[in-house]
Amino acid sequence: MDVAALGMLHYPDPRLRRVAKPVEDFGPWLDALITRMFEIMRDHKGVGLAAPQVGVDLRLFVMNATGEAVDDRVYLNPKLDQRSGWAEAEEGCLSLPGINVQVRRSVKCRLVAQDRNGKPIEAISSGFVSRIWQHEIDHLDGVMIIDKMAPSEAIAVRKVLRSLEADFDDRK
């Protein structure tokens, strides 16, 4: 895989709708992929990026909730449980530029995953970090924020979605 050639996928690219496969190979290629994903995330001013968003069909996401390099996080084969509470907040998505919608998510949850070396990790978080986890894991399951929007929001973003669809058709 030529990770240098990877770039951001935009709706309606069908690769964004696939359920990603588990990471089983923790070889050196993985570090190159992770590094490239952080570059793409930062270039697009995001706080999280799932592998399917760059065309890689693996259960992996990177995130940084603060923008400080020390807060870079990598999660492979993540799962969420111990969810509690609900809150609605506005979310955007790097694969849906120009679209922000209200999304209802758990306030607090536990994430169980593996690090870049395949070692088990576990964390509990709430608020913004928990929201990022849920958003990125949705991507790993082929789910996007437009799947969660209210009918009134669907009407409001209809023109932007059509524009993204036309751009995608032009690139084919």
Residue in 24, 136, 153, 165 annotated catalytic: 136
DSSP states of 35-84: HHHHHHHHHTT-SEEEGGGGT--BSEEEE-SSS-GGG-EEEEEEEEEEEE
Any catalytic annotation for residue 136? yes
Residue with tokens 């894991």: 137
| Rounded Cα–Cα distance for residues 62 and 133 (Å) | 9
Greatest pairwise CA separation for the chain in angstroms = 46
| Rounded Cα–Cα distance for residues 50 and 83 (Å) | 21
Number of C-beta neighbours around residue 79 at 10 A = 12
Catalytic machinery residues: 136
